[in-house]
Structures are given as structure tokens and as C-alpha cells.
Amino acid sequence: MATNAVNPCDGDTVEDKPDRGIPATILAAARANLLFPSRWAEVNGALGDLGTYIPIIMALALAKDLDLGTTLVFTGVYNIITGFIYGVPMPVQPMKSIAAVAISTASFGVPEIMAAGICTSAVVFLLGATRLMDLAYKFIPLPVVRGIQLAQGLSFAMTAVKYVRYDQDLAKGKASGDRRWMGLDGLVLAIAATVFVVIVNGAGEAAEQGREEQVIHEQGGGRRRAKSWRKVVFSVPSAVVVFVLGIILAIIREPGVVKELKAGPSRIHVVKISKHAWKEGFIKGAVPQLPLSVLNSVIAVCKLTTDLFPDKVASATSVSITVGLMNLVGCWFGAMPCCHGAGGLAGQYKFGGRSGACVALLGAAKLAVGLVLGGSLLRLLVEFPVGLLGVLLLFAGVELAMAARDMSSKAESFVMLICAAVSLVGSSAALGFVCGIAVHVLVVLRRLLTTDRNM
């Protein structure tokens, strides 16, 4: 059962207690937002976003020498802070448009990546601090937001299918041939993992509630034991099993990687950003990233948070500010530009995340690994079966796309689908957004004209 959240960033609480001091407020926030409603479910949910996180971080580390250890440390801290602030599995994901530009452009190196992240975050922070983001959140039509979510979810799902079907050269962001059926990263392994996740998690929460009711209401010795056995199966942390299996298979594929792991964190240093890097970072990185950050990392995240956790507080202002502050600090030290994302939230929710403890636990794990192993962890992740990452990403994408199922009329569905189609085909959330707004306005005008004519 969800608990009331205390958001120290907004200063909002479900129960107004004006007499509490700052320490008491912080303690109350920690108690409310970092609870473990179900220990294994939160652990499982923490890994639901790795299908997005690991491939992008690996690609940038391999292609651009991004320091994996530094990124793990900073993103770990981000996870802990956002879990504490919001009390929901608020994800910390790489900025995907900036990552795509970096992977596809030889001259776009670490200074340009960091410049792009700082510029994007400065704009998002400004929109949040001036509360302009709140205005956008209130006035952007829900069908347009759902269209963006549907497009992003389907994009994740299609990328996941590519991960499963084809061998991947993550450093170049390209497929390198058909994946073999057998082997430690074969199609059979990925299909088996997919079947396993479907059996354990089903289609979502409604199915889980139905199973619980069956267990409670069914009677009889033999049948009760059978249902008890099923309950154990359905409570298995599927994402944890898939991830641990991937680590084991990575070591089996290349036993020597264990010897290549080195103790100690990466050396953190300030990234030097030239005038040329600032220019390239802004034009090639920040400009295409900004619409995605505003729409998917703030607007869509806030909408999805309200859908999944009606009693929690995650305003567009506070989300904009946390996105901005993360990168205005971390990017100067070489940490990958990050944001929140509706896909990550959907993925962590799909696998059981229901509180801030979910992402705080993930953050603690990232922080510990980053401090203990630093960048040497990359060698192990290179051997991780990409097909299994595809499985995790597939379910995260489908869960996000299913947020669009609440359209109550044909007109709303029409606007949503137009927005999603343009976003997918043009690979641009901004273009989909503009088209979605235009179609929504036309539909509203037509309805008004029809109403006037009938009167």
C-alpha cells in the first residue's frame, strides 16, 4: 500500500505540519519516502531500468572514453537523493539524444558531451525555477503527453527486440549480424528469459492482484498447497534473477575479466571545456536534447507519477530543478549527463518498485561499485549478454507504452496516435509534440464549430 510522501524540494506534504523544524522535516521525509513496502519487490524494481542504463553507458565508455567509475559514483548519489525527495522509483537515466550524437559523431568527445549536458540542464533548471515548467505541465493536453509516452515506450521496445535478434556493436550503436540461436548470448537464452519474466510478472499489477485473491479465497489442503507454491513462483524477483544470470554468464564467457577488476575509485578531475566544445555541445547536443528533456524527463514523468502514485508529490518545478542541479554539478567532473525518464519509471514500477527505497538502493549499489571497482567494471559489462539487457528493456518499454491506454474517446486516441506516429518516424519528440498540439487544436475547433452549428 502506498504511503504519503513528503517532498522536501517542494515543501509539500499530505498532512500540513507547520511547527516542525528542518531536521524533523528531513527525518519525516526519509521515513516516508525510503520505506520498503516489500523488500524483494523493491530490489527487483531497482534493476528494471538497467536495460536502458547499461547499453548507453557502455557505448560511451567504449567509444568516447567516458569514465565509468565517475559516472557510477555521481549517478549513485543522484539516485539516493531523488529517492529521498520523491518517494517513488524516480529513475536517473543518461540523456539519450546527447548520447546518440556522441556515438555517431567522431568529433563529439567528452568535453562536448559535458557542455551539452550543462547547457541542457541550465535551461531546464531555469524553466523550473521560474515555474514556467508548471505552466507547460498544466496546459499541455493529456493526449499529447500520452503520445510522447507511447512513442518512447514503443521506441524502447523496438530497440529491445533489436538487442535480442541481432548481435550489437554498442560502441558504434549498430547491429553486427544475426544473433545465433544457441550460446551464452543466444536467442534461446533471451527467449527463455522473456518467458520467465512473463510467467513471474504477468501483464501487470491487475494480474498480480487477481493471483493474490485466488490464493486467499481458494480452500482445500491440496489446492491450498498448490496455490502457495504458485505464490512463491510469482514472488520471485525476476529482474534480479536475469541480471545475476547475466553476470554469471559474462564471467563464464571470459573468465579473465575477474583478474582485470581493480580495486579503487577512478580519479575525479574537472573537465576542461573549450569555446569550440561549448559551441558544438550546445548546437549538436543541447538543441536536440532539450525537447526530449522537457517532454519526457519532466512533463511525462510527472504525469506518469500521478498515474501510478496518486498520493505522491512530484511537481514539474521540483523535477526540473533536480534534473538541472544533477548535471550542473556532475558534468564538470565528467559524469554522463542524466535526467529522469518516464521509461525508467515505468520499468522500475513494472518489476516491483513502489517507493524511493527502490532507487536509493540502486544508487547505493552504484556508489559502492564505483568506489570499489571504478572504471575497471567496464571489462565485465562488455561480456554481459546483450540479449538479456534487451529483455529488461522490452518490458520497460511496454509498461511505458501501456500508460496510453487511458484515452477515453476516439478524438483523444486520434491525437495521441498522430503524435506517437510522427515522434517515431521522425525520431523527434519535438516534431511529434508540435504535430500533436496542432491536431489537438484542430479537433477542438472542429468540435466547437459543430456545436455552434447544431445550436
| C-alpha grid cell, residue 250 | 559474462
User: Where residue 108 falls among pLDDT bands split at 50, 70, 90?
Assistant: very high
Instruction: Give pLDDT, residue 76.
Output: 95
Q: CA-CA distances (angstroms) from residue 21 to 9, 11, 16, 24, 433?
A: 15, 12, 13, 5, 43
Look up the pTM and report it. Answer: 0.80
| C-alpha grid cell, residue 127 | 524553466
Instruction: Give pLDDT, residue 118.
Output: 97
In whole angstroms, give the CA distance from residue 408 to residue 402: 14
Q: Is the pLDDT of residue 215 over 50?
A: no
Per-domain boundaries in the chain: 30-212+226-256+271-452
E-strand ranges in 157-245 read 166-169, 174-178
Q: Is the pLDDT of residue 218 over 60?
A: no
Instruction: Give pLDDT, residue 321.
Output: 95
Q: Is the pLDDT of residue 364 over 80?
A: yes
Q: Is the pLDDT of residue 23 over 70?
A: no
